[in-house]
Amino acid sequence: MKVQLFKYWEALRASFWFIPALMVIGSVILAALAIQADSLAMDKGWLASEWAFSGGPEGASAVLSIIAGSMTTIAGVVFSMTLVALSLASSQLGPRLLRHFMRDTATQAVLGTFVATFLYCVLVVLTIRREEGESFVPHLSVTLGVLLAVVSLGVLIYFIHHVAVSIQANQVVARVGRELMHVLESLFPEYIGRGEGKNQESPSPVFLRRFDLDAETICASGDGYLQFIDADALMALAVREDLVVRLECSPGHYLVAGRPLLRVWPATERGEEFTREVNAAFALGNQRTSGQDIEFALYELVEIAVRALSPGINDPFTAIACIDRLGSALCRLATREMPSPYRHDSEGQLRVIAPVPNFSAMLDTSFDQIRQYGRSDVAVSIRLMETLALIAAFAHRQDDRAALLRHADMIRRGAWQGFSEYEDRETLESRYRALKQGLVANDHEG
């Protein structure tokens, strides 16, 4: 159930209608309260302030009609500007980045402001009565409508500035980089079923071989990208059934109905209800999300960089900005302890075996394609080498340092093949020597 809520929440955040719908509901409530206040003021015979609207029914209707008409026109302009921004982002930076623009709460709030103001004016103008002796002019409501129109004008000016800033490549890269940092902070270190105060040793090789031979396979019931896994539900299921569960997939994998989802031990006859309960802990969708999938967050920056390095765009500065953001994330990742694949319950009993990401795989995801597409670009190759040297200063595990040196060697070999100038190769060579010296120094300190 929890994974489905996560899935729906992600869909709501990426929709243009959620915040505007809330603001429309708020406008209905505001109109009702304002009309009620006007009715109360008329019954009590209170005099309106000199700042309030003091015209008759015709004047009130004209004012509200003008405001409502202008709001529909401006809403159309805002929608057109939003579509232009989405088109530019899709063609220049990649279609997967549309999710960031659609999740932009500022754009959603701007659209909601104009729609809500329009509906407020329509609802208020319907309450104006022109009968002789029973005319009703909601002076306070009309005044509030004028104030909303003034606010909407300010919102329009803000939106024009916001669109001009948000479509800049560096701003987009920074936004994706911040989401990557958020995902990294939420996933590392993240453990499932930690047993406090228990000595949790890794299972014996004998048990793991027995698990491979005897475990029962539970298959997926649907097709799609794995977006979320309800770790708490799987742990509770394993404890209730006294099982050991091993996941056969990770968030971001594409699942096909009938593909192994997980394996359980000991293997006994279990009905369809158990299979449905297992599948309920896995949320599938039409696209990958970054909620539990750090590789997808890395791929978004990689896609921007690769597109920037394409011959049709040829923008190495944007690629360098992406490398800087990836390097910043990898520096933090190098300092984090990788979670254990073995997850225990509160009694220290092994319950879940889950695949875990490692630094070497994240490094490959971040730099492989950029290195391949930017092999002949001097500035990009040099920045890649400098970024590896920066990450090396944070790497404290031997395997991580070996992965950094492996990437440095590949960049160096590509440079000697792709660079036509000797001086450019020497510049990269100096960065390579600095990287190796840093790795050697870290080995001595370790």
Confidence of residue 129 (pLDDT cuts 50, 70, 90): confident
CA distances in angstroms from 18 to 9, 11, 22, 24, 198, listed in the order given: 10, 10, 6, 10, 46
Of 305, 345, 297, which Cα lies nearest the Cα of 324? 305
CA angle (421 as vertex; 417, 427 as ends), nearest 5: 90
Residue 339 reports pLDDT greater than 60:
yes
User: Looking at this protein, which amino acid is placed at residue 64?
Assistant: L
What proportion of the chain, given as a percentage, has pLDDT over 70?
91
Determine the pLDDT at residue 201: 67
Can you read off the two tokens belonging to residue 62? 């004209």
> What average pLDDT does range 186-215 have in this prediction?
68
Residue the block writes with tokens 């004028």: 146
Can you read off the two tokens belonging to residue 225? 């990208």
> Distance between terminal CA atoms of the chain?
46
Q: Indicate the SS3 state at residue 226.
A: strand
> What average pLDDT does range 274-288 have in this prediction?
88
Residue 362 reports pLDDT greater than 90:
yes
* Contact in structure between 60 and 137 (CB atoms under 8 Å): yes
Residue the block writes with tokens 């500022």: 106
* Average pLDDT along the chain: 86
Residue the block writes with tokens 């100038």: 421
Residue the block writes with tokens 């991580």: 400
* Contact in structure between 141 and 124 (CB atoms under 8 Å): yes
pLDDT tens digit sequence for 369-417: 999 998 889 999 999 999 999 999 999 889 999 999 999 999 999 888 8
Q: Which CATH architecture has domain 197-357?
A: Alpha-Beta Complex (3.90)
Distance between alpha carbon 140 and the CA centroid of its chain, in Å? 43
Helices (DSSP H) in 45-189: which residue ranges?
57-92, 98-102, 105-125, 139-166, 169-187
> Which sequence spans correspond to the domains of the chain?
2-167, 197-357, 375-446
CA distances in angstroms from 435 to 50, 63, 73, 325, 388, listed in the order given: 74, 70, 58, 19, 7
DSSP bridge pairs for 284:
226
